[in-house]
Amino acid sequence: MTNSNYVALAIADGLATIKLNRPEKANAFDGEMWLALEKVAEEIRLNREARVVILTGEGKAFCGGLDLNQAATEGVALGPEAARGGFDTLQYVSKVFTLYERLPVPVIAVINGGCIGLGMELALVCDIRLAADTAVFSIPEVVFGLVPDCGGTQRLPRLVGPAMAKELILTGRRIDAGEALRIGLVNHLYPAEKLFEEAKKMAAEIASHSVQAVQASKRCINAAINNTLDAGLQFETALALSVLGDKADKMLRS
């Protein structure tokens, strides 16, 4: 089981729990966290026990974004696979986030506090977002002369619409949990002390259903976002038949 200094994974009773663990830095990203998240994604993908994932942060923050102080003084060490240049490095870090979007099992972001910059982009790759009613959200890269480069400009418009995404990204302003719920950035809000309990209830509800049906449904919904309606319908039919298996002909002919 992966347990780096900054990311912990536990799998029990069908639930995989990932915890970002730099509370003294608001769980801000450094290179070790990226590398650990990549390993965790692969471990979950290969683990047949895991049926639902909860992704959260230790302490009072979900994720405060990039550790700017460390990046300015030491850089972001990501290993040889990301050392060929700026474009390749950004492609690598973006790919790590995409691994979570493409996990076969549903991923629930449990946003227990600040969800800023890279933290917001990480939450966007999750299938469902639950937040504490005290959480705050921001994607402030433009304030620092940067572009959201881990999918923020692509996923946020798909979730909240182009106009609202432009407002949030181009102003870099911070919004509270109520506003996040209103614009559809999060699914539900809960008091902070009940957040994880409610997330586990939802995870258990999902895990109680057919593994094949849940995973096929996630793939179909993801396909709907990136394809035409006709292509999505074809994909849906193919996966629905694969889940039915040998029962398909009998059910459809009766």
Q: How confident is the model at residue 52 (pLDDT cuts 50, 70, 90)?
A: very high
| pLDDT score recorded for residue 224 | 87
CA–CA separation, 21 and 14 (whole Å) = 22
Query: Where is pLDDT greater, at 2 or 199?
Result: 199
Within-domain flag for 51: yes
Question: Could you tell me if 99 and 196 lie in one domain?
Answer: yes
| pLDDT score recorded for residue 91 | 82
Within-domain flag for 2: no
The yes-or-no verdict on residue 205 having pLDDT over 70 is yes
| pLDDT score recorded for residue 85 | 54
Question: Could you tell me if 158 and 243 lie in one domain?
Answer: no
CATH of the domain at 49: 3.90.226.10
The yes-or-no verdict on residue 61 having pLDDT over 90 is yes
Taking phi first (over 0 means left), then psi (-120 to 50 degrees means alpha), and beta for anything else, what does residue 26 get? left
The yes-or-no verdict on residue 97 having pLDDT over 90 is yes
Q: What percent of the chain has pLDDT above 70? A: 88
Number of domains in the chain: 2
Question: Could you tell me if 127 and 51 lie in one domain?
Answer: yes
Tokens of 200: 């586990």
The yes-or-no verdict on residue 49 having pLDDT over 70 is yes
Tokens of 211: 């593994």
**141 has catalytic annotation:** yes
Using the Cα atoms of residue 32, residue 38, residue 39 and residue 40 in order, give the sign of their dihedral: positive
Q: What percent of the chain has pLDDT above 90? A: 70
The yes-or-no verdict on residue 92 having pLDDT over 70 is yes
Fill in the amino acid letter for 120.
M
The yes-or-no verdict on residue 191 having pLDDT over 60 is yes
Question: Could you tell me if 203 and 217 lie in one domain?
Answer: no
Question: Could you tell me if 240 and 150 lie in one domain?
Answer: no
Within-domain flag for 49: yes
Question: Could you tell me if 21 and 72 lie in one domain?
Answer: yes
Question: Could you tell me if 172 and 231 lie in one domain?
Answer: no
Task: Name the catalytic one among 74, 121, 198, 236.
Answer: 121
What's the domain range around 238? 211-253
Mean pLDDT, to the nearest integer, of 119-148? Answer: 96
| Contacts with 68 (C-beta within 8 Å, 6 or more apart), sequence order | 28, 144
| pLDDT score recorded for residue 12 | 95
The yes-or-no verdict on residue 140 having pLDDT over 90 is yes
Question: Could you tell me if 144 and 198 lie in one domain?
Answer: yes
Q: Is 57 helix (H, G, I), strand (E, B) or coil?
A: strand
| Arithmetic mean of pLDDT over the chain | 89
Q: What are phi and psi of 204, to 5 degrees?
A: -65, -40
Which pTM value belongs to this model? 0.89
Question: Could you tell me if 117 and 240 lie in one domain?
Answer: no
Within-domain flag for 99: yes
Within-domain flag for 177: yes
| pLDDT score recorded for residue 227 | 78
Tokens of 177: 């949990």
pLDDT tens digits, residue range 155-180? 999 999 999 999 999 999 999 999 99
Within-domain flag for 1: no
Residue 114's closest CA among 169, 66, 64, 57?
64
CA–CA separation, 236 and 216 (whole Å) = 8
**49 has catalytic annotation:** no
H-type alpha helices, the chain:
31-46, 68-74, 86-101, 118-124, 152-160, 162-171, 177-182, 192-207, 211-226, 229-244, 247-253
The yes-or-no verdict on residue 80 having pLDDT over 60 is no
CA–CA separation, 145 and 143 (whole Å) = 6
CA distances (Å), 223 to each of 1, 44, 95, 219, 234, in order?
A: 31, 21, 18, 6, 10
The yes-or-no verdict on residue 72 having pLDDT over 50 is no
Question: Could you tell me if 80 and 188 lie in one domain?
Answer: yes
CA distances (Å), 175 to each of 73, 93, 121, 216, in order?
A: 30, 25, 15, 34
Question: Could you tell me if 147 and 201 lie in one domain?
Answer: yes
pLDDT tens digits, residue range 223-250? 888 878 888 788 778 878 788 775 555 5
Tokens of 28: 């801000």
Task: Name the catalytic one among 32, 141, 179, 236.
Answer: 141
Question: Could you tell me if 20 and 76 lie in one domain?
Answer: yes
Within-domain flag for 234: yes
